[in-house]
Structure 1
């Protein structure tokens, strides 16, 4: 049996580091970090304070983390049937359902609680797909791999608080390849769309993000009005980030048109609704510097959205719209609501918007109501 420090791995990812970036920060070889996480060696005492700071934990907590070494199976292949020829379409369907079950939990639970299980499942799917000899089963596993890769991209980006862009994009590229092998345009489109999110919100590159969203819409156009509409909303957002109101509103109009074309036959029908339209349309007007126009749209979205992570984003943007109109009492109350939701989900989008609102409240930081909000924001920074 092999060993592993799973808590150390989770904390490293939560801090937004890959093994390589953590090694660079600490001026050690990547293989040294690998051995720490495998539980075969420990950091030298003089290095531990730097490691604790990199992981955003106390020295005492680090000692506990380093002591937490568990036995694991020595390889992914030990987690699966030793004979891949026994894997059939029933097993592929079971894996598909398991990925869906984890995906259903994504919007309700912190990504940190899902990452380990999703990573183990993803590894199993990829390992099986590489070994299975039956072409039909292999294609079915490519479809599962596309969905598990998308889920991993979402989780890793969330856990890094949207700081680690390379690893999520690598998972999404893997999803695009797998979707093409499975001839699944909806998964291909959604993976492209998730890449556009990284470009728009992580890299702050509206042109790149808009181009990726446009590509996602083109892939989905003949297959899913739902995904086409969702992609066009992010095309609109890219234009809004660039300050082009005319092209933004043209894309919003096309996105709205797609809502009326969604039917039960649409494979992605659950991913796009008038609530999502309102959330992103409100965001567009906020990027365009029009908080008065954004406010009522975001108010409607925040009341109607059932997904907690999406609701946190709508509330965070609504807070910004209120601050920019100097409606401070309403802004404070809305930021408290935003933090309430973020505390449950730890979603990267809502978390970042909550901190953005906090930065815009700095002129009033000495006010007691603002200090209460800063205390809550500070608590969000603590490892959970």
Structure 2
């Protein structure tokens, strides 16, 4: 039995369950289709409404089929189970960090330095990789090694900084595959580790990434509250870094979702102050927000607000900047093209929508990016009123195939 069948067995429609949960009906639909999962704070309430325990709900949301290949190796943890073990072990160590046996200080510093160097390398590999998931096994091994190192050291400040960095990368990999529960867990650990280390910029970035989970569930108010905390933390960080400007850019997305044009533009203006910073305001790892992102951020926000002319101008500027050598990853370019396709669909210009959408789909396939595929789902909504047109029907079928 899946979530949909359980809901029906308990006498709920999608609308009534959504109302009881305090979410939108479309959110329940996405849960049932397996596109997203309920965030951890929502799970106890959902379990209660469906008459389930939390373990039963988890099994319902993520059924684990035993394949013939796995039957002979049941003692090995599944990948997801291994991730949970690493996170639980690290959280336990973080809780008792002050009571761990000590290594000599110089050895602890050397270990932390090694982890920081490896983390920087992994972020570079992540950005250059067409398929982000190819980086994941290395990141997972690094997390396991870092956790083991923490068991032997009481001087954990440097190691906590390394963990705050690495758990953000792990969260990025999960987020790109639309595994939002795993992403949220990684970002929470990143925030806790960064706070333990007293590194405000690292902490603010972890909070900002955590807010994206709420943004993509369209939980605008929840995202805004997390971003308010991130902004306060960033104010205590290094003013030479771009942290506070990235927080502002993401706050603009929350305001756009709430339909607040004035607050959105004020946040975008704050984000543009990144232009006043020196070239070393980013580190290419956990902090990557620079002026090359301004046009695409503004364009995406105007799409959400329905300001199509302003959106198109900003998005075309983003593409032009990329052509001039300012660079865009497959993921970022795919997102820009998906937004331009949505503009075409809103204007009922199906030729334009199809051209942009197919280029975005090609990038999604080549990169394996669930993030770009998720952006393209918005386009399917815009195509519904015109599916009688053969061009729209064909495009919708291609989008459905990509989603599958």
Q: CA deviation at 1:146?
A: 0.5
Q: CA deviation at 1:62?
A: 4.0
Does the CA contact (< 8 Å) of 2:143 and 2:166 recur in 1? Answer: yes
- Work out whether 1:360 is the aligned partner of 2:382: yes
Which residues of structure 1 form unaligned runs of 5+?
A: 1-13, 35-49, 78-82
- Work out whether 1:105 is the aligned partner of 2:125: yes
Given the superposition, is the C-alpha separation of residues 239 and 378 from structure 1 closer, same or farther in structure 2, using an over 3 Å criterion? closer
Which residue pairs with 1:226 in the alignment? 242
Does the CA contact (< 8 Å) of 2:303 and 2:343 recur in 1? Answer: yes
> Deviation per CA, 1:26-84, whole angstroms, max 9, x where unpaired?
x99959x99xxxxxxxxxxxxxxx99x957xxx9x944565677979x9989xxxxx99
Q: Return the match for 1:294 from 297, 311, 314.
A: 311
Does the CA contact (< 8 Å) of 2:350 and 2:392 recur in 1? Answer: no
Q: CA deviation at 1:340?
A: 1.2
Given the superposition, is the C-alpha separation of residues 205 and 293 from structure 1 closer, same or farther in structure 2, using an over 3 Å criterion? same
- Work out whether 1:125 is the aligned partner of 2:146: yes
Which residue pairs with 2:213 in the alignment? 198
| Aligned-pair Cα RMSD in Å | 3.6
Q: For structure 1, which segment, 107-116 or 352-361, has the greater mean C-alpha deviation from structure 2 after superposition? A: 107-116
Which residue pairs with 2:160 in the alignment? 142
> Deviation per CA, 1:256-309, whole angstroms, max 9, x where unpaired?
1x2222213425476223331111111211121212221111122234251221
Q: Return the match for 1:276 from 283, 293, 301.
A: 293
Instruction: State the number of aligned residues.
Output: 330
Given the superposition, is the C-alpha separation of residues 169 and 329 from structure 1 closer, same or farther in structure 2, using an over 3 Å criterion? same
Which residue pairs with 1:177 in the alignment? 192
Alpha-carbon separation, structure 2, partners of 1:252 and 1:288? 13
Which residue pairs with 1:187 in the alignment? 202
Given the superposition, is the C-alpha separation of residues 97 and 144 from structure 1 closer, same or farther in structure 2, using an over 3 Å criterion? same
Which residue pairs with 1:40 in the alignment? none
Given the superposition, is the C-alpha separation of residues 244 and 374 from structure 1 closer, same or farther in structure 2, using an over 3 Å criterion? closer
Alpha-carbon separation, structure 1, partners of 2:397 and 2:126? 27
Q: CA deviation at 1:16?
A: 6.0
Structure 2 counterparts to residues 44-63 of structure 1, below 5 A: 54=63, 62-63=67-68
Which residues of structure 2 form unaligned runs of 5+?
A: 1-33, 90-100
- Work out whether 1:216 is the aligned partner of 2:237: no
Q: For structure 1, which segment, 303-312 or 83-92, has the greater mean C-alpha deviation from structure 2 after superposition? A: 83-92
Given the superposition, is the C-alpha separation of residues 267 and 367 from structure 1 closer, same or farther in structure 2, using an over 3 Å criterion? closer
Alpha-carbon separation, structure 1, partners of 2:280 and 2:310? 34
> Could you state the TM-score of these two structures normalised by the residue count of structure 2?
0.70
Alpha-carbon separation, structure 1, partners of 2:54 and 2:261? 49
> Could you state the TM-score of these two structures normalised by the residue count of structure 1?
0.73
User: What secondary structure does 2:151 align onto?
Assistant: helix
Does the CA contact (< 8 Å) of 2:350 and 2:391 recur in 1? Answer: no
Does the CA contact (< 8 Å) of 1:214 and 1:232 recur in 2? Answer: no
User: What secondary structure does 1:272 align onto?
Assistant: coil
